[in-house]
Structure 1
Amino acid sequence: MQARFVIDVGQKAQTYEWHEVILMYEDTEYGSGLIPYLADEFQQFDIRTRVIVVHMSSSIGSKLFLLAKETTMISEGYTWIITDGLSTLLDPMGAKVIGSMQGVLGIRPHIPQSKCWN
Protein backbone atom coordinates (compact mmCIF):
# COMPACT_ATOMS: atom_id res chain seq x y z
CA MET A 1 0.00 0.00 0.00
CA GLN A 2 2.82 2.39 0.88
CA ALA A 3 4.54 1.91 -2.47
CA ARG A 4 1.23 2.43 -4.31
CA PHE A 5 0.69 5.71 -2.44
CA VAL A 6 4.17 6.99 -3.27
CA ILE A 7 3.63 6.00 -6.90
CA ASP A 8 0.38 7.99 -6.89
CA VAL A 9 2.32 10.96 -5.51
CA GLY A 10 4.74 10.54 -8.41
CA GLN A 11 1.92 10.56 -10.91
CA LYS A 12 0.44 13.69 -9.35
CA ALA A 13 3.86 15.34 -9.38
CA GLN A 14 3.19 16.24 -12.98
CA THR A 15 0.42 18.52 -11.73
CA TYR A 16 2.97 20.44 -9.64
CA GLU A 17 5.49 20.35 -12.49
CA TRP A 18 8.03 18.43 -10.43
CA HIS A 19 10.48 16.88 -12.84
CA GLU A 20 13.15 15.32 -10.62
CA VAL A 21 12.91 12.93 -7.68
CA ILE A 22 15.79 12.01 -5.40
CA LEU A 23 15.39 8.65 -3.69
CA MET A 24 17.33 8.36 -0.42
CA TYR A 25 17.57 5.01 1.29
CA GLU A 26 19.94 3.02 3.45
CA ASP A 27 21.93 0.27 1.75
CA THR A 28 20.13 -2.61 3.46
CA GLU A 29 17.45 -5.09 2.40
CA TYR A 30 14.87 -2.87 4.13
CA GLY A 31 16.08 0.27 2.42
CA SER A 32 16.52 -1.04 -1.08
CA GLY A 33 13.34 -3.15 -1.28
CA LEU A 34 11.06 -0.29 -2.31
CA ILE A 35 13.43 1.60 -4.60
CA PRO A 36 13.16 -0.39 -7.88
CA TYR A 37 9.38 0.04 -7.91
CA LEU A 38 9.55 3.77 -7.27
CA ALA A 39 12.31 4.34 -9.81
CA ASP A 40 10.35 2.50 -12.51
CA GLU A 41 7.20 4.54 -11.88
CA PHE A 42 9.03 7.86 -11.75
CA GLN A 43 10.85 7.06 -15.01
CA GLN A 44 7.59 6.09 -16.69
CA PHE A 45 6.25 9.60 -16.06
CA ASP A 46 9.59 11.30 -16.77
CA ILE A 47 9.75 12.70 -13.23
CA ARG A 48 13.08 13.88 -11.81
CA THR A 49 12.60 16.75 -9.24
CA ARG A 50 13.50 18.31 -5.92
CA VAL A 51 11.17 15.83 -4.30
CA ILE A 52 13.23 13.76 -1.89
CA VAL A 53 11.74 10.41 -0.87
CA VAL A 54 13.40 9.06 2.29
CA HIS A 55 13.09 5.36 3.14
CA MET A 56 15.41 4.48 6.03
CA SER A 57 15.54 3.57 9.70
CA SER A 58 14.96 6.19 12.40
CA SER A 59 18.59 6.15 13.57
CA ILE A 60 19.91 7.12 10.14
CA GLY A 61 16.88 9.26 9.25
CA SER A 62 17.24 11.42 12.37
CA LYS A 63 20.87 12.20 11.46
CA LEU A 64 19.88 12.94 7.86
CA PHE A 65 17.22 15.48 8.83
CA LEU A 66 19.46 17.29 11.27
CA LEU A 67 22.06 17.65 8.51
CA ALA A 68 19.45 18.62 5.90
CA LYS A 69 18.15 21.35 8.21
CA GLU A 70 21.70 22.59 8.85
CA THR A 71 22.37 22.87 5.12
CA THR A 72 18.99 24.59 4.50
CA MET A 73 17.71 21.76 2.33
CA ILE A 74 14.47 21.70 4.31
CA SER A 75 13.14 24.89 2.86
CA GLU A 76 11.08 26.25 0.02
CA GLY A 77 12.06 24.61 -3.24
CA TYR A 78 12.38 21.13 -1.74
CA THR A 79 9.67 18.58 -1.02
CA TRP A 80 10.51 15.85 1.49
CA ILE A 81 8.45 12.66 1.80
CA ILE A 82 9.18 9.97 4.38
CA THR A 83 7.82 6.45 4.11
CA ASP A 84 5.84 4.61 6.78
CA GLY A 85 8.86 2.98 8.41
CA LEU A 86 10.26 6.35 9.42
CA SER A 87 6.99 8.23 9.99
CA THR A 88 5.79 5.72 12.61
CA LEU A 89 8.97 6.22 14.66
CA LEU A 90 8.92 10.01 15.09
CA ASP A 91 8.03 10.17 18.80
CA PRO A 92 11.26 8.61 20.15
CA MET A 93 13.43 10.83 17.92
CA GLY A 94 13.18 13.85 20.21
CA ALA A 95 12.16 17.46 19.80
CA LYS A 96 15.35 18.60 18.03
CA VAL A 97 15.01 16.03 15.25
CA ILE A 98 11.26 16.55 14.90
CA GLY A 99 11.86 20.31 14.77
CA SER A 100 14.27 19.79 11.88
CA MET A 101 11.53 17.97 9.98
CA GLN A 102 9.01 20.85 9.78
CA GLY A 103 7.15 20.54 6.48
CA VAL A 104 8.15 16.92 5.83
CA LEU A 105 5.28 14.75 4.56
CA GLY A 106 4.98 11.33 6.22
CA ILE A 107 3.16 8.51 4.47
CA ARG A 108 1.22 5.93 6.45
CA PRO A 109 -1.18 3.37 5.05
CA HIS A 110 -4.84 3.83 5.91
CA ILE A 111 -6.95 0.72 6.23
CA PRO A 112 -10.63 1.57 6.74
CA GLN A 113 -12.32 -0.17 9.64
CA SER A 114 -14.43 -3.03 8.37
CA LYS A 115 -17.96 -3.73 9.51
CA CYS A 116 -18.38 -6.68 11.80
CA TRP A 117 -20.66 -9.33 10.39
CA ASN A 118 -22.61 -11.48 12.81
Structure 2
Amino acid sequence: MAIIIIFIVIAVIVFFGIRNYRKNMVSGCCGSESDAAPWKIRVQDRNLSHYPYKKVLKIDGMTCWNCVIHVQNSLNSLDGVFSKVDLNKKSAKVYMKEEISDQLLRKVVSRVGYTVMSISEI
Protein backbone atom coordinates (compact mmCIF):
# COMPACT_ATOMS: atom_id res chain seq x y z
CA MET A 1 0.00 0.00 0.00
CA ALA A 2 2.84 2.41 0.85
CA ILE A 3 4.47 1.73 -2.53
CA ILE A 4 1.25 2.70 -4.34
CA ILE A 5 1.02 5.99 -2.42
CA ILE A 6 4.67 6.79 -3.19
CA PHE A 7 4.08 5.99 -6.86
CA ILE A 8 1.03 8.30 -6.99
CA VAL A 9 2.95 11.16 -5.34
CA ILE A 10 5.82 10.75 -7.81
CA ALA A 11 3.38 10.62 -10.75
CA VAL A 12 1.71 13.87 -9.61
CA ILE A 13 5.09 15.62 -9.22
CA VAL A 14 6.18 14.47 -12.69
CA PHE A 15 2.84 15.60 -14.20
CA PHE A 16 3.13 19.12 -12.79
CA GLY A 17 6.82 19.33 -13.73
CA ILE A 18 6.10 18.41 -17.35
CA ARG A 19 3.17 20.84 -17.49
CA ASN A 20 5.32 23.70 -16.15
CA TYR A 21 8.19 22.86 -18.52
CA ARG A 22 5.79 22.82 -21.50
CA LYS A 23 4.33 26.19 -20.48
CA ASN A 24 7.81 27.71 -20.24
CA MET A 25 8.74 26.40 -23.67
CA VAL A 26 5.59 27.88 -25.25
CA SER A 27 5.37 31.28 -23.59
CA GLY A 28 8.46 31.77 -21.45
CA CYS A 29 8.78 31.93 -17.70
CA CYS A 30 7.03 35.29 -17.43
CA GLY A 31 4.30 34.63 -19.97
CA SER A 32 0.96 33.07 -19.20
CA GLU A 33 -0.45 29.95 -20.78
CA SER A 34 -2.97 31.90 -22.83
CA ASP A 35 -0.46 34.46 -24.14
CA ALA A 36 1.77 33.77 -27.09
CA ALA A 37 5.39 34.83 -26.99
CA PRO A 38 5.61 38.59 -27.61
CA TRP A 39 6.72 40.02 -30.94
CA LYS A 40 9.48 42.60 -31.05
CA ILE A 41 8.61 46.17 -31.91
CA ARG A 42 10.97 47.10 -34.74
CA VAL A 43 12.38 50.62 -34.71
CA GLN A 44 12.66 52.11 -38.20
CA ASP A 45 15.65 54.37 -37.51
CA ARG A 46 18.51 52.25 -36.12
CA ASN A 47 21.31 54.69 -36.91
CA LEU A 48 22.75 55.49 -33.47
CA SER A 49 24.19 58.81 -34.70
CA HIS A 50 20.58 60.09 -34.92
CA TYR A 51 20.15 59.64 -31.16
CA PRO A 52 22.11 62.32 -29.25
CA TYR A 53 20.82 61.32 -25.79
CA LYS A 54 21.84 58.01 -24.25
CA LYS A 55 21.11 56.38 -20.91
CA VAL A 56 21.72 53.01 -19.28
CA LEU A 57 18.99 51.52 -17.10
CA LYS A 58 19.80 48.78 -14.58
CA ILE A 59 16.66 46.63 -14.44
CA ASP A 60 15.62 44.12 -11.78
CA GLY A 61 13.34 41.17 -12.44
CA MET A 62 14.33 40.05 -15.94
CA THR A 63 14.83 36.27 -16.07
CA CYS A 64 14.32 35.21 -19.70
CA TRP A 65 14.23 36.40 -23.29
CA ASN A 66 10.51 37.15 -23.03
CA CYS A 67 11.37 39.59 -20.25
CA VAL A 68 13.91 41.24 -22.56
CA ILE A 69 11.32 41.60 -25.30
CA HIS A 70 8.73 43.04 -22.88
CA VAL A 71 11.18 45.68 -21.61
CA GLN A 72 12.53 46.47 -25.07
CA ASN A 73 9.03 46.81 -26.53
CA SER A 74 7.92 49.12 -23.72
CA LEU A 75 10.89 51.42 -24.30
CA ASN A 76 10.71 51.25 -28.11
CA SER A 77 7.03 52.22 -27.97
CA LEU A 78 8.11 55.71 -26.88
CA ASP A 79 8.42 58.18 -29.74
CA GLY A 80 12.03 58.76 -30.82
CA VAL A 81 13.49 55.92 -28.73
CA PHE A 82 15.66 52.96 -29.73
CA SER A 83 16.64 50.52 -26.99
CA LYS A 84 18.86 47.48 -26.64
CA VAL A 85 18.27 45.24 -23.62
CA ASP A 86 20.94 42.87 -22.28
CA LEU A 87 19.69 39.97 -20.15
CA ASN A 88 23.16 39.03 -18.86
CA LYS A 89 23.90 42.54 -17.62
CA LYS A 90 20.26 43.11 -16.63
CA SER A 91 20.40 46.50 -18.29
CA ALA A 92 18.97 48.48 -21.16
CA LYS A 93 20.77 51.02 -23.32
CA VAL A 94 18.25 53.67 -24.31
CA TYR A 95 19.02 55.93 -27.26
CA MET A 96 16.77 59.01 -27.55
CA LYS A 97 16.28 61.69 -30.18
CA GLU A 98 14.95 64.03 -27.48
CA GLU A 99 15.79 63.79 -23.81
CA ILE A 100 13.24 61.81 -21.80
CA SER A 101 12.96 62.16 -18.03
CA ASP A 102 14.18 59.40 -15.75
CA GLN A 103 10.73 59.34 -14.17
CA LEU A 104 9.04 58.51 -17.49
CA LEU A 105 11.59 55.78 -18.28
CA ARG A 106 10.98 54.21 -14.84
CA LYS A 107 7.22 54.42 -15.35
CA VAL A 108 7.31 52.76 -18.79
CA VAL A 109 9.44 49.86 -17.52
CA SER A 110 7.36 49.40 -14.37
CA ARG A 111 4.17 49.13 -16.46
CA VAL A 112 5.44 45.82 -17.84
CA GLY A 113 6.37 44.51 -14.39
CA TYR A 114 10.05 45.32 -13.88
CA THR A 115 11.95 47.72 -11.63
CA VAL A 116 14.56 50.23 -12.74
CA MET A 117 17.25 50.15 -10.07
CA SER A 118 19.41 52.99 -11.46
CA ILE A 119 19.78 55.25 -14.47
CA SER A 120 23.05 56.68 -15.73
CA GLU A 121 23.99 58.69 -18.79
CA ILE A 122 26.44 57.33 -21.33
Structure that is richer in strand per residue? 2
Band the TM-score falls in, shorter-chain normalisation: under 0.3
Q: TM-score, normalised by structure 2?
A: 0.23
